[in-house]
Structure 1
């Protein structure tokens, strides 16, 4: 009676069923931390706003306004903070998605890929709404916002999220083997990105020996490229969004292979006390 029955259906119908599952998983992930969905969205906005204000006052205090792009300094800070928050939130959401030993995997037709996609889309929805609300309030209440290339800027926003998915999948696949160690490494990576993302500096202004500190990070490339799309008088010369794309695809490929391997060997009894 409770068995999931398989019917002969078209790929179109199966696609809609998968999209429906992803939607419900995304909603479930958004309700994990807050039972009230509206409160969860408000908290996402507050977190982004607090990070924005901290970065604004920190850069003003240390005299870093003079190295920013000519234009709206708050928009310069936003371009870094929004990409950063989207990236690290995607990592956290995907890394904490339901794995192969989760009780959710016992319910057909649920599978880890749907869990990953649902977690990633839930994170993207929260961060997109937070960025949109903050930008609208700033535009309506303080000063009009002018973005040179909104489509390109949005592309970099999505690329920051996409690269976060790839890194998060690697953490997710390693989590069943050493949960405590992987959790520490994930948190450490997210904290390091506060500085390693380069959201407080411009790649064009960095000397080569300092730029080498950031070049490995895909978020550094997406933030710098985003500022090239946001500001008319800034053209990135030392970063490339191609690197971020290939980095994300490589991480996703590694994550998928590692997740498949983990799924074949993971056991719910690994972390049980004997």
Structure 2
């Protein structure tokens, strides 16, 4: 029992890493609530409340039908699901680990496993929450019809991948200035409430206003999602390739920052007198 296990080949190392990611993902999911079912129900409830708030907001501004010829609820949910997956993944990855954390003191674990577990647990929660709401809507309200489901799923996963990349940047700079990083993460999440463009259709946006939103990869992904969701809508002002290249660039920047930070980071940075 006191002998440390050693991986003899690449296959064993891969299996050990995947096992650690699985157990750490389960741990991250159980962190939100001691009961896993209640934790998932809370995630579903949070998403449902978010949808209800936006429906109320649309009614207050006089928008009672979809700007795209199709189901109004699908129009609302397409933006909210993509937005929430992105910003929640950003927050989860940005707070996934620290050098002073208790879990980081266990040798089998490493930052890559903790980051992967935080990202996967968020993806799992968002998939379960979104699928549950869509199924309930399909059964209780109206049948759901999706024009090209693989495209919608690809945009959803791309928004999650983008959240991982942005979260890595915030994770790398957090040890240098934790309060500033927390503030920047919150500003990024709040700014995307508007800058993500989930409240309007990109094709109907005047060209003079387009530069205010076209810089944001999430704006492109939400609009492209609606292009795959509705047969009558073809995005003309957005391109998912832009989002892919921006996220890859952020991933490289985030990795560089994290490697540099890990080289100089010290547990004494978190010491208090």
| TM range, smaller chain | over 0.9
Task: Give the corresponding residue for 1:117.
Answer: 116
Deviations 1:211-248 (A, max 9, x none): 11111111101100000000000000110111111111
Task: Give the corresponding residue for 1:92.
Answer: 91
Task: Give the corresponding residue for 2:127.
Answer: 128
In 2: Cα distance, 1:91 partner to 1:65 partner: 32
Aligned residues: 273
Q: Judge conservation of contact 2:66–2:75 (CA < 8 Å) in 1.
A: no
Q: Judge conservation of contact 1:31–1:40 (CA < 8 Å) in 2.
A: yes
Task: Give the corresponding residue for 1:6.
Answer: 6
Deviations 1:4-38 (A, max 9, x none): 342422x2222121111111111111122212211
Task: Give the corresponding residue for 1:38.
Answer: 37
Give the TM-score normalised by structure 2.
0.96
Q: Judge conservation of contact 2:65–2:72 (CA < 8 Å) in 1.
A: no
Task: Give the corresponding residue for 1:195.
Answer: 194
Q: Judge conservation of contact 1:4–1:108 (CA < 8 Å) in 2.
A: no
Task: Give the corresponding residue for 1:60.
Answer: 59
Q: Judge conservation of contact 1:67–1:202 (CA < 8 Å) in 2.
A: no
Q: Judge conservation of contact 2:66–2:72 (CA < 8 Å) in 1.
A: no
Distance 1:242 1:265, change over 3 A: same
Deviations 1:64-88 (A, max 9, x none): 3456111100000000000011001
Deviations 1:115-148 (A, max 9, x none): 1111000000000000000000000011100000
Distance 1:177 1:4, change over 3 A: farther
1:73 aligns with 2:72: yes
Deviations 1:161-197 (A, max 9, x none): 1101100111111111111111011011101111111
Task: Give the corresponding residue for 1:148.
Answer: 147
Structure 2 residue runs of 5 or longer lacking an equivalent are none
Task: Give the corresponding residue for 1:23.
Answer: 22
In 2: Cα distance, 1:216 partner to 1:70 partner: 27
Distance 1:224 1:16, change over 3 A: same
State which drifts further: 124-133 or 31-40.
31-40
Q: Judge conservation of contact 2:89–2:123 (CA < 8 Å) in 1.
A: yes
Task: Give the corresponding residue for 1:256.
Answer: 255
In 2: Cα distance, 1:27 partner to 1:67 partner: 38
State which drifts further: 257-266 or 94-103.
94-103
RMSD (Å), alpha carbons: 1.4
Q: Judge conservation of contact 1:170–1:258 (CA < 8 Å) in 2.
A: yes
State which drifts further: 55-64 or 218-227.
55-64
Q: Helix, strand or coil for the counterpart of 2:213?
A: coil
Task: Give the corresponding residue for 2:223.
Answer: 224
In 1: Cα distance, 2:127 partner to 2:191 partner: 23
In 2: Cα distance, 1:59 partner to 1:164 partner: 27
